[in-house]
Structure 1
Amino acid sequence: MTSLDTPLGKAADRQDERLATPQGIGDAVRAAVRRTRDGDLGMLPVVAGIVVIWTIFQSLNQTFLSSTNLVNLAFEMVPLGVIALGVVCVLLVGQIDLSVGSVSGVSAAATAVVMVKHEQPMALAIAVAIGSGCAIGWLYGQILNRFGVPSFVVTLGGLLAFLGTQLWLLRDQNAINLPYDSPLVKFAQVWFVPEALAYVFAVAAAGGFLAVGWVRARSRRRAGLSSASMPWLGLQAGLLAAALLFTVYYLNRTRGVPWMFMLFVTLVLMVHYVLKKTKFGRSLYAVGGNAEAARRAGINVRAVYTSAFVMCSALAATGGVLAAARLAAANQSTGTADVNLNAIAAAVIGGTSLFGGRGTAFAALLGVLVIQSISSGLTLLNLDSSYRFIITGLVLLVAVALDSAARRSRQAHGRG
C-alpha cells in the first residue's frame, strides 16, 4: 500500500486532482499547468513581469542589477511595502482603504513630535504612532459596520481628515528632523545584518521550510491524504537555500543585507502565517469570497471587517514610521503624493484581487518590488517621474485585466 492509499483505496483528495498535493516534479508541473489553464495564475504574472522589467533595465543600464543598486532597492521598497501589506489585508475582505498614505503621514509626524518636540523615548513615540494607526482602523470598522457607509467613502474622508491632522501636528514648522544618532534612523539607513549571520538566516529559512513541509506531509498522511514526498521537499528546500545564499553573497559584495529589509520580510512571513494557518486568516478569505455565506457559516463578519481595517492601518502607521526613519525627518509631504495609489497598486500588481477573497502576503513583497524596480530603473536612465507614472499605470491596468480574465476562467472551470 503506497502513501497515497488508504484501507479504502485512494487517498481522499486524489478523488479530485485539483485537491491533491504534488509528490514530485512531474506532479508539480502538471498541477501548475492545470491551474494556469483553469485561470488560477497565482504569482506567475508578477514573477514574469519582474524578469521582463529587470532584463529591460539591465540591458539599458549595466548598473541596474549591481549589488549597490539592489541594496538601495532593498532599502527603498520597505516603507511602501509595509503599507502595501496592510492593503492586502483589507482587499482580501473585499474592501478598500484610500487613506493609508495619510495614516502613514500622521504616524510619521506623531513619531517626530513625540521624539523631538516632547523629548520622549523612541519606544514611546513608535508605540503612539502604531497605536494611533490601530485606533484609526477600529474607527473605520465601526463606521462601516454600524452605519453601512461604504469603505471607499469612509477612507476617502479619512484621507482628507488625517492629512489635515498631519499638517496640524507640523503646524509650527514644515519638517521635524529626527536625531541622526538615534537607533531608529540608524536602523533605516546604516544598520546591516553581519555577513556570517546573514548566511545563517538563509540556511535557517531553508531548514524551516523543510521542517514545516515534513510536519505537514506527515499530518496529511495520517489523515489519509496525499502528501509531498521527502525527495521533492528536499529539492525545494535545496533550491530555496541556493537562491537565498546567492542573494546574501551578492548583496554582501557591497554593503550587505539591510536590517530594515529583514524586518519587512519578517512581517510578510508573519502575515502569511496568520492568513494561511489560522482560523482568523481563513475567515478573511471566507468573508472576501462571500460575506453572506460566511455569516451563515457562523463567522462574525463585522469583527472580521474591523480586524482587517485595524491590521491595514497599523501596518500603514508602521510604514510611516519607517519612512520618517529612512529620511531622518517627518515633513508635510510625508505619505502624500503617490503613496496611496502606489500602495494599492503594489498589492494588486502582486496578485491580490480587487474582488476580494484571493491574494497572499507575498503580493505586497512582489508588487512593491515591481514598482520600486520601475522607479529605480528610470532614475538610472535619468528619465523624469512622468514616465514612472505612465509605466506603473500601464502595469496596474494589465494586472487588473489579468485578474478579471482569470476570475472568469476560474468560474468557468469551477474554481470559484
Structure 2
Amino acid sequence: MTKQSRDPGQTIQLDRADTRVRHDAGLAGALRSFIDQVRSGDLGMLPVIVGLLLISVVFSALNPVFLAPNNLANLLFDAAAVGFIALGVVCVLLLGEIDLSIGSMSGLASAITGVLWVNSGVPLPLTVLAVLLTGALVGLIYGFLRNQFEMPSFVATLSGLLTLLGLQLYLLGPTGSINMPFTSPLVRFGQLLIMPAWVSCLMAVTPGVLIVIGAHRTNARRAAANLSSAGLSVPLAKAAVLTGLLVFAVFYLEQGRGVPWMFGVFVLVVAALNYALTRTKWGRSMFAVGGNAEAARRSGINVKRIRLSAFVVCSTFAALGGVFAAARLASASQQAGTGDVNLNAIAAAVIGGTSLFGGRGSAWSALLGVLVIMAISNGLTLLNLSSSLRYMITGAVLAIAVIVDSLARRSRASHGRA
C-alpha cells in the first residue's frame, strides 16, 4: 500500500487552519478557559463582583432605600474622593510596598486648598496645581528614602503620616476648619453637578465599542503576520454583556438625579491609569518589579526609578482625592483625612483584587473595591448602625479579601508546580 505524499505548502496551510480552529473555540472555549483559570487560583475580579451583588441584595432587603436611584447617586459622589486615593494605593501595592500616609496627605491637600483658595484668594486652577505638586514632592521623599537608605515603606510613610498631619493642623490654625463657598464651582462639582443623560450613555457604550475595535485590530495584525486569530465571538459577547449592564445602570440612575460628574471624572482617570499600566513600558515594568524585583533589574529595568514613580503617583492621587473630599464636604477641617480614610482606601484596592504581595492588580480593581466599601458604609448608615460596627464589618471584609488573595496565591503556586 503506497503512502501518498503531501505538498509542503499544503501541509503548512492545513496546520495553520487546524491551529486556527483550535484557537478560535468560540464562547464554549472561552468558558472552559475561564473555569480553568478560576481552578488554578486566578480569580481576578470575580470575588469582588460576587461580593458587590451580595451586599446589594442584603442591604436592599433590609432597607429598600439602598437601591433607590438618588441614594446610589450619593454613593457615587462619596466613592469618587476615596477612589482617587485607592488608585494611588494600587500603584504601590503592585510593587509590594505600602503608603500609610495617604489619609494625612489627602487631609493636608484639603487644608492647602482652603488656605490658598479661600483665605489667600489664589485662583482655583493654581491651587489645585500647588496641591498636586505637594503630593508629588511627598512621593519623591518616600521614594528617595526607600531607594537610598532601604528604609521600609511602612516606616517611611508612617513617619510621613505624623508629619503631614502636623502640617495640616498648623495650616488650619486655631479655628481648625475653613468653609468653602457653596456657590463656588468646586463645591457645586462635589455636591450637585450631574452629567447630561447623553454623556452618561456615551460613557456606557464606549467600553463595549473599544473591546470590539481592539479585538478586530488584533485579529487584523495577526492575519497580516499569517498567524491564527481568535475570532470575534467572545469579544462581541463580552461587549454585549458589559454594554447592557452599563446602559441599564445609567438608565436606572437617570430615574433619579443621574450620574455625577465627579464620578465620571474618576472613571476616566481609572481608564487612563489602566491604559498606562497595561499598554506602556512603565506599566509593564511596574508588574515586572512587583513580581520579582531582582529579575526585573537583571533584565534592564531601572527598579529604583519605577519604585520612585509609584510613590509619586500614589501621593499625587492622594492629594487629588483630598481636593475632591474638600469639594464634597465644602470644607477643610482637622478631621479631613483622619478616621477610616486610610482603611477605606487600602481596603478598596485589596478588596478589588490588588495583591498585597505585589505583581498583581489593576486600576479597575480600585473602582470595584471602592464601590464595595462605599456600599457597606452607605448601607450601614441607612440602617442607623453605629460607626463602631461599620469599622468592624469593613475590617472583617478586608481580612476576608486578604485571605482569599493568600489562598488564590497558594493555589496558583501549587498549580504551577503541578
TM-score using structure 1 length:
0.94
**Which residue of structure 2 lines up, in the alignment, with residue 40 of structure 1?**
42
Alignment map for 1:4-153 (pairs within 5 Å): 9=15, 24-153=26-155
Give 1:382 deviation, angstroms.
1.1
Name the stretch that deviates more: 163-172 or 192-201: 192-201
Q: Secondary structure at the match of 1:355?
A: coil
C-alpha separation between the residues in 2 aligned to 1:273 and 1:204?
15
| Secondary structure at the counterpart of residue 382 of structure 1 | coil
| Structure 1 residue aligned with 2:6 | none
Contact 1:115 1:125 in 2 (8 A): yes
2:400 match: 398
Change (3 A) 1:314 1:13: farther
**Residue 299 (1) aligns with residue 301 (2):** yes
SS in 2 for 1:72: helix
The higher radius of gyration belongs to 2
Shift in CA distance, 126/219, structure 1 to aligned 2, threshold 3 Å: same
Q: 1:367 to 1:7 in 2, by over 3 A?
A: same
User: 1:233-285 deviations in whole A, cap 9, x for unaligned?
Assistant: 22222222221211111111011110000011011111110111111000000
- Deviation at residue 8 of structure 1 after TM alignment: 8.8
Q: Does the 8 A contact of 1:214 with 1:233 survive in 2?
A: no
2:160 maps to which residue? 158
- Inter-CA distance 134–387: structure 2 relative to 1 (3 Å threshold): same
Structure 1 pair 109–224 and aligned structure 2 pair: CA distance change class (3 A): farther
Match of 1:322 in 2: 324
CA contact (8 A) 1:272 1:361 kept: yes
Query: 1:180-217 CA distances to partner (integer Å, 9 max, x unpaired)?
Result: 12211111111111112322332333222321222223
For 1:192 and 1:151, how far apart are their aligned partners in 2?
39
Higher helix share: 2
Retained in 2: the 8 A contact 1:12–1:224?
Answer: no
Residues in 2 aligned to 1:105 and 1:12: alpha-carbon distance in whole angstroms:
60
Q: Distance in 2 between matches of 1:175 and 1:151?
A: 31
**Stretch moving more, 202-211 or 119-128:** 202-211
Q: Report if the CA contact (8 A) 2:27-2:233 is conserved.
A: no
- How far residue 12 of structure 1 moved from its aligned partner, in angstroms, is 12
Measured after TM superposition, the shift of residue 74 of structure 1 is: 0.7
Q: Deviations over 1:37-58 (max 9, x none)?
A: 1111111111111111111111
Task: Give 1:9 shift.
Answer: 3.3
What is the count of residue pairs matched by the alignment?
Answer: 408
Q: Which of 180, 188, 191 is equivalent to 1:189?
A: 191
Query: 1:88 & 1:226 partners in 2: Cα distance?
Result: 35
Q: Any stretches of 5+ residues in structure 2 without a counterpart?
A: 1-10
Cα drift, residue 152 of structure 1: 0.5
Q: State the secondary structure of the residue aligned to 1:176.
A: strand
Amino acid paired to 1:37: R
Moved more, 180-189 or 156-165: 180-189
Q: Following the alignment from structure 1 to structure 2, what is the Cα–Cα distance between the partners of residues 341 and 332?
A: 18
For the Cα contact (< 8 Å) 1:47–1:366, is it kept in 2? yes
**TM norm structure 2:** 0.93
- Corresponding letter in the other structure for 2:40: D
- 1:368 equivalent to 2:382? Answer no
Question: Aligned equivalents of 2:203 and 2:307: distance in 1?
Answer: 35
Give the C-alpha shift of residue 315 in structure 1. 0.5
d(CA) in 2 for partners of 1:324, 1:178: 8
Contact map agreement 2:30 2:234 (CA 8 A) in 1: no
Segment of structure 1 superposing worse, 286-295 or 220-229: 220-229
Q: Alignment RMSD, CA only?
A: 2.1
Q: Percent identity?
A: 52
Q: CA–CA distance in 1 between the matches of 2:345 and 2:206?
A: 30
1:356 match: 358
1:172 Cα deviation (Å)? 3.9
Q: How does 1:222-261 map to 2 (within 5 A)?
A: 222-223=224-225, 226-261=228-263
